[in-house]
Every structure is written in C-alpha cells, then in structure tokens.
C-alpha cells in the first residue's frame, strides 16, 4: 500500500469510475504483484470469508465476487487510453529515450480474434498465440502496451507505436531503443526516418563482418587500451557507430565453441569411413554453408554438424 501511494497509483485511475470500482482496481493491481493468481482465486483471497491476506480488509472491500473482478478488468480495458496518456505525461517528454520490445504468449482457448499461429517464443508451435508490444520509459517504467495478432512480425508493430507517440502522446521527437530483430534496416528506412524519430539498435552479423574486414573501421587494435570506441563508416552516413568489447561474453562464447567442436569431433569419429577426410576439408566446408562437406564427409557427418549447429564455429 505504501508503494502504491508513493507512485500515485490512484492518480492513474479515472475519477469517473465509482469509488468501489477504483478500490477493486487498486486491489487487483496490488494482488497481482503480491500473489499472482487466477481471477477466481484472486476474488477468494480478497473476500473476507475466504481471505488469505489482509489486502481486502485494508481497502475496506467487504464481500468480493468473481463477477465484480471481471467487470473491473473490463473497466480497466476501456480506460486503457486514459491510463496510458497519464503515464506518458508523467514519464515521457520530447527528446526522451523510449524502450520498446515485444514478446508472445500461447493460448489454449479458441475464441480470441487475435489468436494466430506464428513464431513461438514458448516453443509451442502447436498452439495459436498473441504478440504483445510494451513501451517503457528510460527507467523501465511501463507506459503503454498493445496486443497484436499472433502472426504479426515484430518489426511490423512499429507503425502503431509511432502513431501512438505522435497522435496520442503528442511527442514529436524521441529516441526509440530496440533490438536488431525489431529495428531492422527496412523499418528504419520505411518507418522511423520518415517519422523524424531517432533510434538506438544493434547491427546484424553480416554488417559487423563488413566493418571488421581488412582495412575496415572496426579492427581488434581498437580494444588494446579500452573496451568501447566510436567509429564511422560510409555505409552508415550520419549515424554513430559505437563498438564494445565484452570480455565476459567473449569467454563464454569461447567456452561454447570449444564444447561444440569437441562434440563434433566425437560424432565425426564415430562415423569415420573411407570417405572421411582430414582437417583441411572441415575448413573448406565451413567456408560455404550451402556446400559444407559436399562430396567429402559421409552423410552422417553432415547430420552431426546440423544437429549441433556448429559449422560456424569450425
């Protein structure tokens, strides 16, 4: 309750709601943080006859039914726009950093119009899913959330967020921060630049390799005396490129590489035969993923590489 008062939770709930409705909304939010549970279980923990803690009593709720809980959630859904605008006024301003990312969740039901089959982060390709996009202030405070059809590609959710920033939040200049799978080159050119927004993201591996090619601006000597540097490239005019060396990540990748290579050698040794070749053929195969080991390794050897997905480490 003290935290709810400190963050002025009451100020986010529309005054046009009844006192009872607002108290129930506060209770549901706090209960979700303290003891996440299904809606029916939440109603029981707030109801004095079946309460498992004192939250309902502290808020003076009295008897609480599951029907009231669902009605309050419907009310919060209808008031989402007001709540998000209030959060944006508190935490966002022109020139601010804005964090954006998406996730997904699979469904068991059949009645959701947005439920579609798509790339499953839950590894449940047998279930339809929803895509959820979350906008946060630079300190991580959530400001807005939106649900998309389950077959929506991550980058295709950006247009809706830009419209939200400009039309609803009245922000004309922000810096959007997102990962490389979200802020793709195509989305930057087609969506962010025309909207006049700045961005921070990461380059994909092919672009990094091009920068690190012989004579390129990204060379190992940059990190002789420091872990971070700024470089420029004609391939990215008007953009700042910041490169960083992470020794902990390098050590972890080295360990994983050694383990994968050791596993490969064991698998290849089991399948060695008349067509097996020496190490130089391994190097040759790694240079061309489409023809790796073609006509050199026995079929089982190729299967070993595919199973462990470590031709890139050879």
The two structure tokens encoding residue 130: 């929803």
Q: State how far Cα 140 lies from the chain centre.
A: 13
How long a stretch of residues is the chain? 314
Question: If we measure between CA atoms, which residue out of 300, 293, 296, 294 comes closest to residue 314?
Answer: 293
Beta bridge partners of residue 137, listed in sequence order:
98
What is the C-alpha to C-alpha distance for residues 167 and 175, in angstroms, rounded to an integer?
16
What is the C-alpha to C-alpha distance for residues 231 and 244, in angstroms, rounded to an integer?
11
102 in Cβ contact with 131 (< 8 Å): yes
pTM metric for this prediction = 0.76
Say if residue 313's pLDDT is above 60. Answer: no
Q: What is the band of 54 on the pLDDT scale with cuts at 50, 70, 90? A: confident
Cα end-to-end distance, the chain, whole Å: 57
Kindly tell me the burial class for residue 146, based on how many C-beta atoms sit within 10 Å of its own C-beta (0-12, 13-18, 19 or more). Answer: middle
Mean pLDDT of 87-92: 93
Encode pLDDT of 97-149 as tens digits: 999 999 999 998 888 999 999 999 989 999 999 999 999 999 999 999 999 99
The H or E element spanning position 145 is strand 142-149
- Cα Rg of the chain, angstroms: 27
What is the C-alpha to C-alpha distance for residues 223 and 244, in angstroms, rounded to an integer?
8
Encode pLDDT of 249-303 as tens digits: 889 999 999 999 998 888 888 766 555 444 333 333 334 444 444 444 445 555 5
What is the C-alpha to C-alpha distance for residues 197 and 174, in angstroms, rounded to an integer?
6
Q: What is the band of 52 on the pLDDT scale with cuts at 50, 70, 90? A: confident
98 in Cβ contact with 176 (< 8 Å): yes
Question: If we measure between CA atoms, which residue out of 89, 94, 81 comes closest to residue 164?
Answer: 81
Encode pLDDT of 141-172 as tens digits: 999 999 999 999 999 999 999 999 999 999 98
């Amino acid at each position: 309750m003290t935290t709810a008062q400190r963050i002025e939770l009451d100020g986010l709930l529309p005054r046009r709601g009844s006192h009872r409705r607002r108290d129930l909304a506060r209770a549901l939010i706090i209960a979700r943080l303290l003891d996440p549970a299904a809606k029916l279980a939440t109603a029981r923990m707030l109801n004095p006859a079946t309460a498992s803690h004192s939250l309902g009593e502290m808020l003076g709720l009295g008897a609480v039914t599951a029907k009231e809980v669902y009605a309050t959630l419907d009310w919060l859904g209808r008031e989402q726009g007001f709540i998000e605008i209030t959060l944006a006024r508190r935490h966002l301003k022109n020139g601010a950093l804005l964090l954006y990312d998406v996730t997904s969740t699979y469904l068991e039901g059949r009645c959701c119009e947005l439920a579609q089959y798509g790339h499953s982060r839950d590894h449940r390709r047998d279930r339809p899913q929803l895509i959820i996009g979350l906008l946060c202030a630079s300190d991580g405070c959530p400001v807005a959330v939106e649900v998309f059809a389950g077959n929506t590609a991550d980058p295709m959710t950006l247009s809706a967020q830009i419209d939200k920033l400009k039309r609803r939040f009245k922000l004309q200049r922000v810096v959007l921060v997102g990962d490389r799978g979200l802020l793709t080159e195509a989305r930057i050119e087609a969506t962010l630049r025309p909207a006049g927004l700045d961005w921070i993201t990461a380059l994909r591996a092919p672009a990094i390799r091009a920068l690190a090619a012989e004579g390129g601006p990204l060379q190992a000597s940059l990190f002789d005396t420091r872990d971070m540097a700024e470089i420029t490239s004609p391939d990215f005019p008007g953009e700042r490129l910041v490169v960083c060396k992470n020794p902990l990540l390098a050590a972890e990748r080295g360990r994983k590489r050694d383990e994968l290579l050791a596993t490969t050698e064991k698998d290849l040794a089991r399948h060695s035969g008349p067509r097996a070749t020496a190490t130089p053929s391994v190097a040759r195969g790694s240079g061309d993923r489409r023809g790796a080991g073609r006509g050199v390794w026995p079929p089982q050897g190729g299967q070993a590489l595919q199973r462990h997905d470590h031709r890139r480490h050879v």
